[in-house]
Structure 1
Amino acid sequence: MEAKIQSFAVNFLSVHDALFSRSVGPVIDAAMNYTCGRWMECEEDEALGESLHDKTADYNYSPVSDIDDSSRRLNFNISSWLSSTSTQVETTMTLASFFSLLCLSFLVFATFLSCFQHSLLTSPMFNSTRRHRLPNLVPVPLPRQNFMAWVGVCFYMSDEEIVTRVGYDSLVFLRFHRLALRCLLKISIFSFLVLLPVNYGGGEHERNEEEYGYIVLTDFTKFTMANVESGSPRLWIHCIGAYLLTIIFVTELLQEYSDYNTIRHRYLLSRCPHLRTVLVSRIPPHMRSRRKITAYFKNMYPEVVTRVSLCENLIYLESLIKSRTGILERLERVTYLIAEKDKVANASTTFSTVGKKIQNNFTACCGYNKQYYTNKQGIIASELVDANELVTKEMKRRSMIMHHLDKMGAATGNCDIDYLLSKNEPHPAAVPPPPSTPLPSSPMPKEPTPSLRRVAYEPPTPETVSDPDALENHLNEVTDKAFVSFSTYSAATIAKQSMHGSKPGEMAVEQAPEPRAILFENIYVTSKARQTRHILANAFVTILIGCYAVPTTLISLLVSETALISYNPALARLVISSGVFTSLTRMVQPVCIVCLQQTLPPLFLAMSKIEGQLSFCDVQIRAFSRYFAFQVVNIFLVTAIAGSIFETMALIAENPGKVFQLLGYALPKTSSFFCYYIILKSSLGLGVELVRIVPILQGLIRLSPICHHNTLRDRRKVIVGIRPIDDPGWMPIHKIFAQDVLIVVIGVVFAVIAPLVLIPCMMFCLISRIVWTHQFLYVYEGCCESGGLFWPKVFRRFVFGIALAQATVVGQFMLKGAWSQAYVTIILMISTYFYLKRARSKYDMSSSSLPLEIAAVMDINVDNNKADRANAMNEDSYLQPALRAAPNAEPELPFPPQLMDPKDLQKEKDENLIDYLMGDSEISTGRCTTNDYDDSDLDRFERGWEKVLRDQQEQSTGIFNKIGVGLDGGNLTVPNVELMKRKRNKAEVLVDSEYEIRLNAGPSSNYIEAI
């Protein structure tokens, strides 16, 4: 087996080397030769480069001989720029540059805080866009009198407030930052008080200076494990640190998993209708009708089935609706153009002769012909009438087809027990048993299986409708999926944990996604097609991860410190003379890598959608896993191990024991790079997120001529991910989560070998928790709710970080000849893996579904009135959007708002809002706005925040107690004020606090959720 792996690695590397050397290699060689030529122009610059190399060299030792290039069995024709050690990212940071970079990052973030405080005073609604659509779920405005008062509010916000206002996924995300900060803070006490003095007095620095006559370790690396002499007894302290790190993280992880189990059960016990709904897939052909599915489940679960929604094949109807929407857009734009030109013309007629001349010149210059656009408007209006007729006709045809399918029987499978149950016999006990299945030794001829491929729609003819056994002829009209809703938790729990169907592989029942999280375009993807797409997607991700090292390495080389200095000798002198320029120069490389990797999250998200996932939550979770894997390989390991993943794979395939030595040798050298990376993410990345610079830029792009922004439909439309400035949309939690987990893994890995890296890691976790708490509460809208299903994935990444940290320490022990410490740490690795695997299996089963006894108690204590009310609000939630569309669509407004009289516009908005809230109209403006608060309201908010903050401080006395309370979550609640009244057209409309109008920021459309 080992020989096959080695031969495969050799063949794979030979092909990769041939392609790389013929395509990318010559271009990079030319660029690097040009760079080297410029560097060698004058003797002064050459001497300056040699002094820089002597000053910034880190290590006097190299990997052991079996890792050296001269002893490798596999020889590759890799270009010199890739194999040269001078181009590798090494630790050249000094303490002066490290602390100057920290001070610079604090100044940058303080600037962003000042901008945020100014926006709170001048335009509070800009930083509280969530209040436009969810006014009852958004807390009162933050305190604005004190500069940092809002930081305490976000830091001490209780879990109860977070769950009530933003949901369980946001709570799990914020608890992750709290957990990471708590773990890193505990291990930092040992690292700073014990490991830093031990590393500083390790003696490797003095020995190298005496032996070689020059300094090989900077003052920054003197505080790392690299400064400890080989075979020194001090290495036992690092072994103790590895054990202490493992104990701290394992204890905190298990406690957090226990808390997650409680949070998950609370979510499953919430009175949301979708938690009592199941998704039935792989329905057999003879059961694919609404009547048969309803009868089957009513026989299995008597008196608890409330609704069954069979998914239909609506590809043709969806194409008609999409075409009609395009016609509506064109009609609204033409209407806007005519109204705008008429407004200009009416304004010019007040000046008699002069106005006529202006109007004639305007018409001649702009080419506006009112008659032409009026005729165009009439043509588009006639197209809209035709489109409405086609949609109405198709809807009627769909209704007729489903009615006939309910009356049909099945030509195949009509003797199966599931079909007999679906016939709704008056006495289910009298149903005859199914025929016995013969033994394999006496084979029976199989009946032909009907084809399940999708074909074009054909209206039913009288001949096929009159045939009672013609259901298989209309399988293209329906899909193999249905949603079944129950009135009790017990029935839904039993259905999810039971096996349905008399044949293997049929009638799979699982928890239904939230209605607004369903990707209805993936309803038509079968199970086999989904499996095929999953294999192709994984193959594509593997190729992408393997080949993405080429552009990453190329950018790292072209914008590295050495390359930038070689472009301009004057910059080299500034780097030597100033630590600020040194820090700025070294920040260029992380900035470029961060910009490059921003293109990956949308790609992984699109891949997960194309793969056929039915729930948008599952799409995000899968995109999170793939993006994290990409970051670990291409940002973490490739950056550390010289930028050649294929050569590293060959070394590992040849000798798996070299993994520890590679990690132990490569990772300590890259500690400065990750310090820059984390500090950049903390100050610049989170600061840009706080002041919402990206939405400002997107708003400017939408105002450009390339985007239509005149009509209301155009203003709400999302163009290539670019939203209006007042529409924050949903937070890309898959991208943010993967990036934050990577930073925590970096902190875990370097906690023992380079403890100073913990400082930017803890700073990032603290700032992230405060910033994202504000963004969740006041800015972003939730697109879906999975109940915290991200946590099991995050738990595995934590385990991966612990294992990687232990492997790195083992590699350092091997390089320094401390074999006893290495063996002890390997025993720790094995025991940690099995212990966490057992703990995970313990909690996974209990948190994946609701225990039956708890569901039974919940059914007894549930308020039937509220349950019925919630079901009434969501009885069409699982109906496909095409079936919920209006048969006859009309333009939203006959004229755009800016061209209407303000009084008429306000009157129309008020009438639409009141009718919608009272349930008398199905037309929604898509937004639920609130009036600005007056001074008395703001004064009440300030007094309320002062009271709750004072109560919080009284409960926790002392700085350490306050920090401890904050790390555990805090218990701050939002002040209770009366703000539910809104004046509309001299009338007060009271909005029930139990319901909120949610603008759909997710995959589904026009969904009103009961909270």
Structure 2
Amino acid sequence: MDGISIAKNRTCKKIDPTNPTATGQNEIYVQLVLSLALGISAFFAFCFLRPRWKSLYAARKRQTESAKSLPELPDTFFGWMPVLYKVTEQQVLASAGLDAYVFLAFFKMSIKTFGVMFLITCAILAPINKKFDYLPTPGDSSDPRKPPELFSNNPVWGSWRIVEDTVVQAKDGKTALPDTDYLWAYLVFTYFFTGLALHFMTSETRRIIKVRQEYLGSQYTITDRTIKLSAIPPELRSKEKIKDFLEKLEIGKVESVTICCNWKWLDDMMDKRAHVIRKLEEAWTVHLGRRKTPVLDPAQSAHPGTSDENEETEGQENDTLLGESHVTAYEKPRPTTRIWYGFLSLQNRKVDAIDYYEEQLRKLDEKITMARKKSYTPTPLAFVTMDSIPACQMAVQALLDPSPMQLLAKLAPAPSDIVWSNTYLPRSSRMIRAWTITIFIIVLTIFWLIPVAGLAGLLDLCSIEEVWPGLAELLSRHDILRALVQTGLPTLVASLLNIAVPFLYDYLANMQGMISQGDVELSVVSKNFFFTFFNVFLVLTAFGAASKFWGELQDSLKDTTRLAYNLARAVKSLAVFYINFILLQGVGLLPFRLLEFGSVSLYPILRMGAKTPRDYAELVQPPVFKYGFYLPSAMLIYILCIVYSILPAGYMVLLFGLIYFVFGYYTYKYQLLYAMDQPQHATGKAWPMVCYRILVGLGVFQIVMAGVIALSNAFVPAGLVVPLIPFTLWYSYYFGRTYEPLMNFIALRSIRRDSNTSTNIAGESVESNLIDARLRRRQSTVDEEREKFSKFINPSLTVP
């Protein structure tokens, strides 16, 4: 081979590894075609169905009061797009609230960050990488850029991406070192991109804090004046004693106190009553016959002339359980149900269903009426409403009691957000649940290693050959089939895992016993990000295929520097996989989110099972937007863009990452404003979670860059990367001390004492808009509309 001999440690003889550059291009082209086919078909389907199925695609606009002020979207095929584009941040804030504003702010910040990085990468780093960091063909002397005898026995040698386990040696036994001067550019841009990411993150944090303080300080809701007082000692568990205790602190007057009691028996009866009501409604519906429900037919939304009639019909169905019309005559035999009784409920007979459920309902109503008059055992938790917002803020930002873990004051969740069945759970029970689920998630994390390691095996043809030689030989002869199996299939499986696993973690988070749905949602974000980051990225990248997994894991635990080298080596080798992953997520799957494929698929099934007007009314309710399902994947793609930004594949990763965040911004903007409801009330508290995970991504980026540079024996620039890691840790501490409190509390200076003053909640130019009275917001915020007439009372005590 003209002075160069090649030896292989594996028997991958049937697979030609000499030109993986072309193979990578084929894989990207195949993934691009598949993603475009999926994305374009889903997008066109959405554009076709949107004006014809307004009960789904405009559900929030039609049914939510805060969305009424949004501009109407034209019924033309593409006419909705410019109108959506022109919806301002002020309108997002006024219509959807702080949580939606913060969620979209992350996408907007990512667009700015990666837009700048992409331009810099194309202008400076791409030419550098093209000249110095490429994949040569062993024995190819035609490339003038390749110095002679440039190979070493290192599996991954510096800037040369040698195929793993291929050893190339010079004829005389000596090896020549490549030119590593260009790696100083890697060092410079590691610092520059770290600073750029921190700059955009800090600037966006300051802007969100300003908007949040202005927004919350200008409104006057019962939630803003209420504290959640926990760990109340037994001697203070009465309304009068709690009121006296707080007023003696001279921070303000107490308006009302709600002590959470053990209402389990009452709640259980209310749940049983809801079940009986549904059974009774179903029996009556069967007896009266199939109802006519024109409003629920998606096709009828396409006819403008029927909209007023549809709205009137909707109102009638919501006002009564059964309505007036029926199809069959009253002479139809009354429905029956089977009841079980006697010893061990072994005997049964059929009875009239309507009479039976009416009697059950009557008995339950009598029990509930009596139960509401009883006294229940108070728990160590209470909701205390103060007479002013400053008094509430002072209470939650101060230590109320000198005893540790006693009389702890925190901001209360919104009344509609409270999970009342968890308020009377003992603290020990909640802790046991939390630890049990944490341990279960750790076990799950270990379990996920099996499919993830198997997924990694598909990326390596040598691993495929060890398990299935025939398949490896077939793939080596067909480039397109190889691209589908080696990259298309793994990216699809990884994407499906990202879609399916959040449902499991959402269930687990709801079982933890948290007091509010907002806390549950933040917990889902945390759990799902842990899965995507640890299993889909870290394990897949650092440990590779199943055949090497346990050995690599043991070696990494013995020597942590090996983990850094493995991470750096694998990040470069998995570039094509992650390019295709981002491409599939952004171009192929985001249009399916816009299409609401799950709701569209389930609608015929739910429609066939619907019988009562209540069932039909629930069919047209806006789907719930869950931040925990969408935010973790976006944060993972943010980290991937940062990690690959300097490497040879950086320009492509940044390009497709930029496409993902642009498409994602407008997809989720449409859903949050027009299609889906977000009942959780976290007041933008997801932003600190986003920032901390960005900092985690920056730490991984710095470790990878230090490893990549060190693999070329350029230890001086590699060592100079290391100080960035403790700096990032320090900045995390600085962020927590400086910015996070302003994301949790309202500064006293921000509170408007005059609750009748109309105040602006604009996004980008708050100061100038405050001066301009013409741009001041409407009378009430979305939170004020949501919490109108709300009280901190268990609905089981008051619901009719």
TM-score range, shorter chain: 0.7 to 0.9
SS in 2 for 1:522: helix
Residue in structure 2 matched with residue 128 of structure 1 by the alignment? 58
Q: Given that residues 456 and 545 in structure 2 are in contact (C-alpha distance below 8 angstroms), is that contact kept between their aligned partners in structure 1?
A: no
Residue in structure 2 matched with residue 843 of structure 1 by the alignment? 739
Residues in 2 aligned to 1:653 and 1:841: alpha-carbon distance in whole angstroms:
33
Code of the residue aligned with 1:492 in structure 2: it is C
Residue in structure 1 matched with residue 354 of structure 2 by the alignment? 377
How far did residue 164 of structure 1 move?
Answer: 0.4
Residue in structure 1 matched with residue 570 of structure 2 by the alignment? 666
> Structure 2: which 5+ residue stretches go unaligned?
1-10, 163-176, 292-325, 339-348, 760-778
SS in 2 for 1:878: coil
Q: Given that residues 422 and 514 in structure 2 are in contact (C-alpha distance below 8 angstroms), is that contact kept between their aligned partners in structure 1?
A: yes
CA deviation digits over 1:489-541, x for unaligned, max 9? 22111111222246443211110001111111110223333333333332222
CA deviation digits over 1:20-61, x for unaligned, max 9? xxxxxxxxxxxxxxxxxxxxxxxxxxxx98443435668xxx
Residues in 1 aligned to 2:505 and 2:355: alpha-carbon distance in whole angstroms:
44
How far did residue 117 of structure 1 move?
Answer: 2.1
How far did residue 787 of structure 1 move?
Answer: 1.3
CA deviation digits over 1:752-778, x for unaligned, max 9? 122122121111111101111111111
Residues in 2 aligned to 1:834 and 1:254: alpha-carbon distance in whole angstroms:
14
Residues in 2 aligned to 1:341 and 1:133: alpha-carbon distance in whole angstroms:
25
> Structure 1: which 5+ residue stretches go unaligned?
1-47, 59-91, 350-358, 402-475, 718-723, 887-1011
Code of the residue aligned with 1:386 in structure 2: it is K
Residues in 1 aligned to 2:137 and 2:657: alpha-carbon distance in whole angstroms:
32
How far did residue 859 of structure 1 move?
Answer: 6.8
Question: Which among 788, 791, 800 is matched to residue 877 of structure 1?
Answer: 791
Question: Which among 613, 620, 625 is matched to residue 514 of structure 2?
Answer: 613
How far did residue 662 of structure 1 move?
Answer: 1.5
Indicate whether 1:800 and 2:696 are aligned.
yes
SS in 2 for 1:481: strand
Q: Given that residues 101 and 580 in structure 1 are in contact (C-alpha distance below 8 angstroms), is that contact kept between their aligned partners in structure 2?
A: no
> Could you tell which deviates more after superposition, 503-512 or 801-810?
503-512
Indicate whether 1:232 and 2:180 are aligned.
yes
Q: Given that residues 100 and 580 in structure 1 are in contact (C-alpha distance below 8 angstroms), is that contact kept between their aligned partners in structure 2?
A: no
Indicate whether 1:337 and 2:317 are aligned.
no
Q: Given that residues 549 and 643 in structure 1 are in contact (C-alpha distance below 8 angstroms), is that contact kept between their aligned partners in structure 2?
A: no
Residue in structure 2 matched with residue 513 of structure 1 by the alignment? 413
Q: Structure 1 pair 763/345, CA: closer, same or farther in 2 (3 Å)?
A: closer
Residue in structure 2 matched with residue 783 of structure 1 by the alignment? 679
CA deviation digits over 1:904-930, x for unaligned, max 9? xxxxxxxxxxxxxxxxxxxxxxxxxxx
How far did residue 624 of structure 1 move?
Answer: 1.1
Q: Structure 1 pair 98/502, CA: closer, same or farther in 2 (3 Å)?
A: closer
Q: Structure 1 pair 265/577, CA: closer, same or farther in 2 (3 Å)?
A: same
SS in 2 for 1:394: helix
Q: Given that residues 260 and 382 in structure 2 are in contact (C-alpha distance below 8 angstroms), is that contact kept between their aligned partners in structure 1?
A: yes
Q: Decide which structure has the larger Cα Rg and report it.
A: 1
Residues in 1 aligned to 2:359 and 2:117: alpha-carbon distance in whole angstroms:
72
Q: Given that residues 168 and 788 in structure 1 are in contact (C-alpha distance below 8 angstroms), is that contact kept between their aligned partners in structure 2?
A: yes
Question: Which among 529, 534, 556 is matched to residue 633 of structure 1?
Answer: 534
Q: Structure 1 pair 695/785, CA: closer, same or farther in 2 (3 Å)?
A: same
How far did residue 155 of structure 1 move?
Answer: 3.7
Residues 835-984 of structure 1 correspond to what in structure 2 (within 5 A)?
Answer: 835-855=731-751, 857=753, 874=788, 876-886=790-800
Q: Given that residues 27 and 576 in structure 2 are in contact (C-alpha distance below 8 angstroms), is that contact kept between their aligned partners in structure 1?
A: no
CA deviation digits over 1:807-856, x for unaligned, max 9? 11111111111111101111233334324532442112333222234337
CA deviation digits over 1:685-735, x for unaligned, max 9? 21111122210111122245xxx4101334456xxxxxx3x2333212112
How far did residue 780 of structure 1 move?
Answer: 0.8
Residues 560-639 of structure 1 correspond to what in structure 2 (within 5 A)?
Answer: 576=477, 579=480, 582-583=483-484, 586-639=487-540
Q: Given that residues 112 and 688 in structure 1 are in contact (C-alpha distance below 8 angstroms), is that contact kept between their aligned partners in structure 2?
A: yes
Question: Which among 169, 176, 182 is matched to residue 106 of structure 2?
Answer: 176
Residue in structure 1 matched with residue 47 of structure 2 by the alignment? 117
Residue in structure 2 matched with residue 452 of structure 1 by the alignment? none
Indicate whether 1:143 and 2:143 are aligned.
no
Residue in structure 2 matched with residue 529 of structure 1 by the alignment? 429
Residue in structure 1 matched with residue 441 of structure 2 by the alignment? 541
Residues in 1 aligned to 2:733 and 2:398: alpha-carbon distance in whole angstroms:
26
Q: Given that residues 42 and 592 in structure 2 are in contact (C-alpha distance below 8 angstroms), is that contact kept between their aligned partners in structure 1?
A: yes
Residue in structure 2 matched with residue 751 of structure 1 by the alignment? 645
Q: Given that residues 230 and 818 in structure 1 are in contact (C-alpha distance below 8 angstroms), is that contact kept between their aligned partners in structure 2?
A: no
CA deviation digits over 1:388-436, x for unaligned, max 9? 111111112x2xx3xxxxxxxxxxxxxxxxxxxxxxxxxxxxxxxxxxx
Q: Given that residues 556 and 563 in structure 2 are in contact (C-alpha distance below 8 angstroms), is that contact kept between their aligned partners in structure 1?
A: yes
Residue in structure 2 matched with residue 353 of structure 1 by the alignment? none
Indicate whether 1:642 and 2:544 are aligned.
yes
Question: Which among 541, 544, 560 is matched to residue 656 of structure 1?
Answer: 560
Question: Which among 600, 623, 631 is matched to residue 729 of structure 1?
Answer: 623
SS in 1 for 2:622: coil
Q: Given that residues 434 and 512 in structure 2 are in contact (C-alpha distance below 8 angstroms), is that contact kept between their aligned partners in structure 1?
A: yes
Residue in structure 1 matched with residue 603 of structure 2 by the alignment? 699
SS in 2 for 1:307: strand
How far did residue 234 of structure 1 move?
Answer: 1.5
Residues 307-456 of structure 1 correspond to what in structure 2 (within 5 A)?
Answer: 307-340=256-289, 346=329, 375-396=352-373, 398=374, 401=375
Residues 183-198 of structure 1 correspond to what in structure 2 (within 5 A)?
Answer: 183-198=113-128
Residues in 1 aligned to 2:560 and 2:603: alpha-carbon distance in whole angstroms:
53
Q: Given that residues 38 and 588 in structure 2 are in contact (C-alpha distance below 8 angstroms), is that contact kept between their aligned partners in structure 1?
A: yes
TM-score (norm 1): 0.63
Code of the residue aligned with 2:60 in structure 1: it is R
Q: Structure 1 pair 568/337, CA: closer, same or farther in 2 (3 Å)?
A: farther
Residues in 2 aligned to 1:499 and 1:570: alpha-carbon distance in whole angstroms:
67
Residues in 2 aligned to 1:253 and 1:95: alpha-carbon distance in whole angstroms:
34
Q: Given that residues 338 and 373 in structure 1 are in contact (C-alpha distance below 8 angstroms), is that contact kept between their aligned partners in structure 2?
A: no
Code of the residue aligned with 1:678 in structure 2: it is I
Residues in 2 aligned to 1:781 and 1:204: alpha-carbon distance in whole angstroms:
49
Indicate whether 1:817 and 2:713 are aligned.
yes
Code of the residue aligned with 1:878 in structure 2: it is F
Q: Given that residues 515 and 878 in structure 1 are in contact (C-alpha distance below 8 angstroms), is that contact kept between their aligned partners in structure 2?
A: yes
Residues in 1 aligned to 2:685 and 2:252: alpha-carbon distance in whole angstroms:
31
> Could you tell which deviates more after superposition, 742-751 or 726-735?
726-735
Q: Given that residues 331 and 377 in structure 1 are in contact (C-alpha distance below 8 angstroms), is that contact kept between their aligned partners in structure 2?
A: yes
Q: Given that residues 561 and 586 in structure 1 are in contact (C-alpha distance below 8 angstroms), is that contact kept between their aligned partners in structure 2?
A: no
Residues in 2 aligned to 1:556 and 1:235: alpha-carbon distance in whole angstroms:
29
Residues in 2 aligned to 1:480 and 1:653: alpha-carbon distance in whole angstroms:
45
Q: Structure 1 pair 257/871, CA: closer, same or farther in 2 (3 Å)?
A: closer
> Could you tell which deviates more after superposition, 662-671 or 300-309?
300-309
Q: Given that residues 336 and 353 in structure 2 are in contact (C-alpha distance below 8 angstroms), is that contact kept between their aligned partners in structure 1?
A: no
Supply the RMSD in Å over aligned alpha carbons: 3.8
> Could you tell which deviates more after superposition, 175-184 or 258-267?
258-267
Code of the residue aligned with 1:779 in structure 2: it is A
Residues in 2 aligned to 1:559 and 1:660: alpha-carbon distance in whole angstroms:
20
Q: Structure 1 pair 259/861, CA: closer, same or farther in 2 (3 Å)?
A: same
Q: Given that residues 202 and 227 in structure 1 are in contact (C-alpha distance below 8 angstroms), is that contact kept between their aligned partners in structure 2?
A: no
Q: Given that residues 457 and 464 in structure 2 are in contact (C-alpha distance below 8 angstroms), is that contact kept between their aligned partners in structure 1?
A: no
Identical pairs, percent? 18
Residues in 1 aligned to 2:402 and 2:715: alpha-carbon distance in whole angstroms:
60
Residues in 2 aligned to 1:504 and 1:259: alpha-carbon distance in whole angstroms:
36
TM-score (norm 2): 0.78
Q: Given that residues 15 and 476 in structure 2 are in contact (C-alpha distance below 8 angstroms), is that contact kept between their aligned partners in structure 1?
A: no
How far did residue 313 of structure 1 move?
Answer: 1.3
Residue in structure 1 matched with residue 17 of structure 2 by the alignment? 54
Residues in 2 aligned to 1:769 and 1:856: alpha-carbon distance in whole angstroms:
32
Q: Given that residues 810 and 822 in structure 1 are in contact (C-alpha distance below 8 angstroms), is that contact kept between their aligned partners in structure 2?
A: yes
Count residues in correspondence.
694
How far did residue 647 of structure 1 move?
Answer: 4.5
Residue in structure 2 matched with residue 286 of structure 1 by the alignment? 235
